Structure 1
Amino acid sequence: MARRLRPVRLDFLESAPLRLVFDTEVAAPPSAVYRALADEVADSPSWFTAIAAARPIAGGAGREIRLRGGVVFQERILVTDAGERYAYRVEETNAPGVRALMEEWLLTPAPHGTGTGTGTGTRVRWTMAAEGTAPFRLVMRLARSGVGRSFRDAMRNLDRRLASSPAP
């Protein structure tokens, strides 16, 4: 059963009681990484293996994300700064214990990507800001290393995918 979450504003990214922040570098340029995150939503499961299915909703103003294991998120996109920033808030979910959830992807040019020496890489920073019950917070803290590993694996997969795809 899906529940509506508290509609938090962008400042929640800094003030949330629980914040998970991960970053890494990829060789792909920020524009390509942004396109994969924001424009090619349905392709997300091909590189972020924690995602079972993804699709745009509300005429592109939101997304529906289904994780492996059955958790579903209905998200509202809040920020779309092409090539730089992508942020969204979870409006509804079936995940137990969560009261508010927001995520942000910050993309900044990296001097050398992942060692290519070309100067066209991207530093990717993913922030997950959440509020929830004490059991939810405990589970999220315990899951931090696994979530971080999932993020790093996803970024490696995305980098390989973008390296093998021609630029549009």
Structure 2
Amino acid sequence: MVRSFVGGLELIVNLLKSTNKEVLASVCAAIANIAKDEENLAVITDHGVVPMLAKLANTQADDRLRRHLAEAIAQCCMWGTNRVSFGEAGAVAPLVGYLRSSDTSVHQATAEALFQLSKDPNNCITMHENGAVKLLLGMMGSTDEVLQEAAAGCVANIRRLALANEKARYS
């Protein structure tokens, strides 16, 4: 349905250039939903959604924008090399900072995004260097099962990389 609007996906991606935080939060929420469809995700990736979302990760934003931005990043990781591209664009370290928010919906969305990003070894290194493990360990005890699983999955991926590095170093 979304693809039937010629140029609509490109227009949505271009709205990420807005300076209005309400517009940005709404566009990120829309992108998170649009990106659930693989073909839509391929199209918005071609229109440069990854570097634009990554750039937004570095801004000082409110929790609503952070939540929807993290949701959009999590969904966009599902295509090609997007998770690697997010890391190269510097989106991982700022996302770790979102775990310090007091909003549990930001924690859930961020943990899910970090879990998706942690499937790339370089992103795991960045997360570890920025203190994600300690923050995620605390969230593994949450009563929110989605948050628990995302946090645990992310920590598991970081740990697997650390073990592989130790094994390679001492073999």
Structure-2-length-normalised TM-score: 0.30
Structure scoring higher RCO (CA < 8 A, sep ≥ 6) equals 1
TM-score, normalization by structure 1: 0.30
Larger helix percent: 2
